[in-house]
Structure 1
Amino acid sequence: MSVLQRQKKKKSILPGFGLSLCFTMFYASILVLFPLAMIFLNTASMGWSDFIKTVTDSRVVASYKLSFGAAFAAGIINVIFGTIIAWVLVRYHFPGKRFIDGLVDLPFALPTAVAGIALTTLYVPKGWIGQLFTFKIAFTPIGIIIALTFIGLPFVVRMVQPVLQNFNAEIEEASASLGASRMQTFRKVIFPELVPAILTGFSLSFARALGEYGSVVFIAGNMPMKTEITPLIIMTKLEQYDYAGATAIASVMLVVSFFLLLLINIIQWWTNRKFVHS
């Protein structure tokens, strides 16, 4: 068999590769790259001085701090409680387990506006939960974190749950037979397997929280310099037909989000490499 015939045979191993590759590039270009490119093109229509003035406005900077801070806090909370929920759903059997397992996915199906109204009703000072506290929850950054935690929790649970389900119980039993305590087994054997899934769940939860609007706008109160999130400022500028200003702020959010997610992926890669060589 000649070299040319071998190359043709090798290419035919994946049928439809050319067509599937074209579809993938079309999807990535039309639905992802072009819309993102338009953000920077619209931003380029304004001068550099106007861009700096827009994105460094005190009101906008305050919204950056609130949006990124609340998203990060919600991501950390989701990592802790999402891992616990996944552990309970996999390791224990109790009445209503299937119901709770299905309830985890509720934020995926629930319209964000409905979630925002429901959370606001619960956490206002006279609400069922809000009246139990001596401090305000709704219309404060605490309420925003609660809303972002609500919509981001399923990402962590659904990332960690399959890893626990596929975990080899014999390894855990071998660790116990060698004299390791339950905490040592979890820390040395189980937790390293969960770290990549936890980091992935955190990344997804964090990314979703950064762009969340519907569930936050109701419970936030939208007070400038206090509870105003960046997506709301972008929407306000769009309503004022300030498209360049809206895309300028959006471009900052996009760039910062990209670098933060890149950093998380680097940490995830470093963690995987560390555990593999340990």
Structure 2
Amino acid sequence: MLTIGKMNTYREDWQTTLWNYDNWHFVAPTHPNAIFLDTRTKRDYNSNPRPSKFGEIIEETTRAPQLLSKDGWENVTNTLFKSGWNSGSPLIIVSPSPLYGLGLIETFLHDFVYTLRVLGVNVQTTFDFEAWKYNGKGFTEFLHYAASWKPSKCIILSGDVHYASAVNAKITFKDGRKLTLNQLTSSPLKNMSFGGVWGALMKQIMALNALKRKNNEINRICTPSYYIKEVEEEDKSDTYLWKDQIKYQLLDNKSIIETKNNLGLLLVRRRSIKNILLNPDHPLLK
């Protein structure tokens, strides 16, 4: 039988181990290899509040965090190459939050929530800024490190946003380096994300906004101040850190977004990438 003293010692040792452990990222022995990013415990923060602009709906708030700090990226890089993965090989990057979001939910919140408040409808107005796109420097760090690894094919798997989507992005850096990313997002399988009247309204608005991006290529640049903005295709500006071309892919429902609960099944072949969305009633999930 353990004495109280020994139990306390074990508990203290366990607490010390947890507090000192900082390598929650890891590489899974899949094919291709998959590096899982820790976007919770290795963040970087800017303590200066985001300045408010005249007429802006959202009140001044703390700046969105970089989901992975410089030290975090260096640790991830060391872990990746120590795993035996080599540059020139295909790679899967698993990020809880998508690098490329659709922006549809945010558009809905900005354009419609305030209107409902004016009409006296009590709605939740706390915004979730835990996304890569809300911090241009963090977004840029993601691209730079992914490019520095030089994968032959780079696939990003993500979730945590309550919809499914697929996007192809071609990035060109100011120094001429290029990177192509294929991002596949799927979540969740069990939690009903858009239920009730409120959910039905949100789905309709999201569907309308999705039509604007369907079959359209989006061109963006990141300025030296880490501001990411859309530009016209013919824009010849040379004042940028990187520029990208984004193309959202059609899913099985002939839309670029799926709001029904699903699980993504990824099939990676030498010359193709296929993502199949499985609903809860699919035979493979029975």
So what's the TM-score if we normalise by structure 2?
A: 0.21
Does 1 or 2 have the higher relative contact order (CA < 8 Å, sep 6+)? 1
Larger relative helix fraction: 1
Q: Answer with 1 or 2: which has the greater Rg.
A: 1
